[in-house]
């Protein structure tokens, strides 16, 4: 697999922030499309069985919004996810596409069906019979849910590949341990989002009076009822996670824990409001409240997605590809030959580095660290290491997976490691014009000893060794 690609950075923003921001936005829109489809099926059924006289016209209005938002921004951000993934980690997306291209292909057939059914309804719904309307909406809803079904298999595989690393059989990876809890959890989330957006739209429709709005909101709230299952589904999902990932979410990594807490809190608030206000009809949901609930749903979705992405570390594909796009076998090889020795892409503006060692260090940073860190911006390396002595930097980077178990092992030789240490120190010192190169053989030997001692396995595996009583 190709190792070297041109590397771009997003200034002070981490690449993961860009990918995550877009991803959360796209996921929310996708949830809207899926939940919206289910809601419209339900409303069409209400209309044709005479249970609600306003439901039919509302379906037409809601569908216009769905087409204008989901079919446009949702579809294009889906493509954008691919493009941004290439910018962040071409190797990771390359492996995902390579291993699951037929699944992506299947998902594409369902997406095409979704678009076809959607546009048929959009163009002709007003002149169609109830039967035709319902069937089109049903096909639309089922197709959009199956899009989720297929993509969910690939995304959950990244965290819990199951038996796939041993068998390399695609279906082993697809139907992985977290597949079903994740699928069901996302389905409930989609229903919630579809319902809450409907509440916003109902309030925005000018031709409905208050009692009509109340009746529709009450019906839309029925799709919130499955939220009661969320705690169980969430617990099931946590249970299927690898123990180290679960530990990160449950306090081991306070950022993950806080995001998970925010997600659970936001979901709980929505659930509470749904129970009291909408299902038991104790409160009226006006446009502002409905919008606020939608925002809470966005926070909950964002928090959940952040945790799902974060607890995969130090891997982007568990036990296969580290988060900086190298495999364990690569680490072993690059420890010998150097991680940037064969990197054909030079540093831009090389004249800004006072010596060759710093230039090398910058190149090592670009190859090894820049996927998750910036130099001086978000998650900035300079800031993270600012209080470390030079000796500490050498040890901590040499045994990176022991420094933090969610970090991948250092994948370079001792000269590159020393160059990286000097580069970080130079950045800490505000990039002075003069900087002395270091070449003490004793230091390099010490670094090599540390590298040899820690090996090329991840910190998680080392922890497992310790737990089982063996020494590495």
Partner 1 sequence: MDTVFPFGFPGPTAFYLTLLVAVFMIHVLFMNYVLAGSAYLAAHTVLFGSADDGTPLSRILRDWLPFMLSAAITAGIAPLLFLQIVYRENFYTANLLLFYRWMAILPVLIAGFYLLYILKSKRIGHWPFVARAAVGVGAFAGFMFVAWSWVENHLLSVHPDVWVEQYASGVLVYRPFELFPRLALWVVGSFPTMALMLAWQVWWESRLDTGMPTAEQTRGAHRTAMIALIAIVLTSICAGAYSLLMPPAARDVVFSMLTLPYVILSVIGVTLELIAWVPQLRAGRLKLVWLSVATVGLMLHFCGMTVINESTRLAAIDISTRYAEHAASAKIGGRWAFGFFLLLNLGLMAYCIRLTSMRRPPEETIETPEKP
Contact set for partner 1, span 131-150 (CB under 8 A): 131-132, 135-136, 139, 143
Measured CA to CA in angstroms, residue 116 lies from 48, 152, 200, 407 at distances of: 23, 22, 26, 45
Site string for partner 1, 84-113 (x = CB under 8 A): x-xx--x--xx--xxxxxxxxxx-xxxxxx
Start-to-end C-alpha separation, the chain = 29
Can you tell me which of 165, 166, 169, 295 binds partner 1, judged by CB under 8 A? Answer: 169
In terms of Cα–Cα distance, which of 212, 209, 229 is closest to 220? 212
DSSP string covering 45-78: HHHHTTS-TTHHHHHHHHHHHHIIIIIIIIHHHH
Stretch 407-466 residues interacting with partner 1 (CB under 8 A): none
State the minimum distance, in angstroms, from the CB of residue 244 to partner 1.
Answer: 28
Residue 5 interacting with partner 1 (CB under 8 A): yes
In terms of Cα–Cα distance, which of 252, 310, 244 is closest to 464? 244
Stretch 251-270 residues interacting with partner 1 (CB under 8 A): none
In terms of Cα–Cα distance, which of 173, 170, 8 is closest to 89? 8
Piece of the chain touching partner 1 by CB under 8 A; list 34-42, 168-176, 249-257, 397-405: 168-176
Can you tell me which of 13, 17, 65, 212 binds partner 1, judged by CB under 8 A? Answer: 212
Residue with tokens 């680490």: 331
Rounded Cα gap, residues 247 and 417, in angstroms: 30
Residue 13 DSSP class: B
Piece of the chain touching partner 1 by CB under 8 A; list 202-210, 253-261, 278-286, 443-451: 202-210
State the minimum distance, in angstroms, from the CB of residue 267 to partner 1.
Answer: 29
Residue 332 interacting with partner 1 (CB under 8 A): no
Q: Are 419 and 397 within 8 A, CB to CB?
A: no
Residue 244 interacting with partner 1 (CB under 8 A): no
Rounded Cα gap, residues 153 and 161, in angstroms: 10
Rounded Cα gap, residues 378 and 359, in angstroms: 22
Residue 360 interacting with partner 1 (CB under 8 A): no
In this complex, which beta carbon is closest to partner 1, that of residue 121 or of residue 406? 121
In this complex, which beta carbon is closest to partner 1, that of residue 90 or of residue 265? 90
Tell me the two tokens of residue 129.
């019979």
Stretch 21-80 residues interacting with partner 1 (CB under 8 A): 47, 50, 53-57, 68, 71-73, 75-77, 79-80
State the minimum distance, in angstroms, from the CB of residue 280 to partner 1.
Answer: 24
Residue 321 interacting with partner 1 (CB under 8 A): no
Residue with tokens 């617990």: 235
Can you tell me which of 127, 329, 433, 442 binds partner 1, judged by CB under 8 A? Answer: 127
Query: Strand pairing partners for 380?
Result: 374
Q: By rule CB under 8 A, what count of residues binds partner 1?
A: 73
Piece of the chain touching partner 1 by CB under 8 A; list 125-133, 228-236, 248-256, 262-270: 125-133
């Amino acid at each position: 697999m190709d190792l070297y690609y041109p590397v771009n950075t997003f200034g002070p923003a981490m690449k993961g922030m860009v990918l995550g921001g877009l991803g959360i936005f796209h996921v929310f829109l996708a949830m809207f499309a899926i939940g919206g489809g289910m809601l419209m099926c339900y409303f069409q059924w209400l209309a044709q069985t005479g249970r609600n006289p306003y439901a039919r016209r509302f379906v037409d209005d809601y569908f216009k919004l769905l087409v204008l938002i989901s079919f446009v921004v949702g579809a294009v951000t889906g493509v954008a996810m691919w493009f941004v993934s290439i910018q962040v980690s071409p190797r990771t997306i390359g492996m995902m596409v390579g291993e699951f291209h037929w699944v992506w292909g299947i998902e594409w057939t369902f997406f095409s069906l979704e678009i076809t059914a959607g546009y048929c309804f959009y163009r002709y719904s007003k002149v169609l019979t109830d039967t035709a309307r319902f069937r089109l909406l049903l096909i639309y809803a089922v197709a959009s849910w199956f899009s989720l079904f297929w993509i969910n298999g690939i995304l959950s595989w990244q965290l819990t590949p199951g038996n796939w690393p041993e068998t390399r059989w695609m279906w082993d990876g697809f139907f992985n341990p977290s597949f079903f809890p994740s699928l069901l959890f996302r389905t409930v989330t989609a229903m919630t989002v579809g319902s809450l957006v409907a509440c916003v739209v109902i309030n925005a429709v000018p031709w409905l009076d208050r009692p009509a709005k109340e009746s529709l909101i009450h019906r839309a709230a029925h799709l919130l009822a499955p939220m009661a299952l969320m705690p169980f589904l969430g617990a099931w999902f946590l249970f299927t996670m690898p123990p180290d990932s679960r530990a990160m979410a449950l306090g081991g990594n306070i950022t993950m824990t806080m995001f998970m807490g925010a997600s659970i809190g936001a979901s709980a608030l929505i659930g509470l409001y749904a129970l009291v206000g909408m299902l038991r009809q104790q409160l009226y949901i006006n446009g502002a409240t409905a919008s606020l609930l939608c925002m809470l749903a966005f926070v909950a979705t964002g928090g959940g997605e952040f945790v799902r992405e974060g607890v995969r570390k130090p891997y982007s594909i568990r036990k296969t590809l580290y988060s900086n796009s190298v495999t364990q076998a690569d680490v072993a090889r690059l420890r010998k030959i150097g991680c940037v020795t064969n990197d054909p892409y030079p540093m831009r503006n090389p004249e800004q580095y006072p010596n060759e060692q710093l230039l090398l260090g910058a190149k090592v940073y670009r190859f090894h660290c820049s996927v998750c860190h910036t130099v001086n911006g978000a998650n900035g390396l300079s800031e993270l290491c600012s209080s470390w002595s030079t000796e500490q930097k050498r040890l901590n980077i040499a045994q990176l997976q022991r420094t933090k178990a969610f970090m991948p092992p250092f994948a370079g030789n001792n000269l590159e490691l020393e160059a990286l240490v000097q580069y970080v120190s130079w950045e800490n010192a505000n990039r002075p014009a003069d900087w002395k190169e270091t070449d003490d053989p004793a230091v390099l030997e010490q670094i090599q000893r540390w590298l040899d001692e820690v090996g090329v396995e991840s910190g998680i595996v080392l922890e497992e060794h310790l737990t089982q009583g063996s020494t590495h």
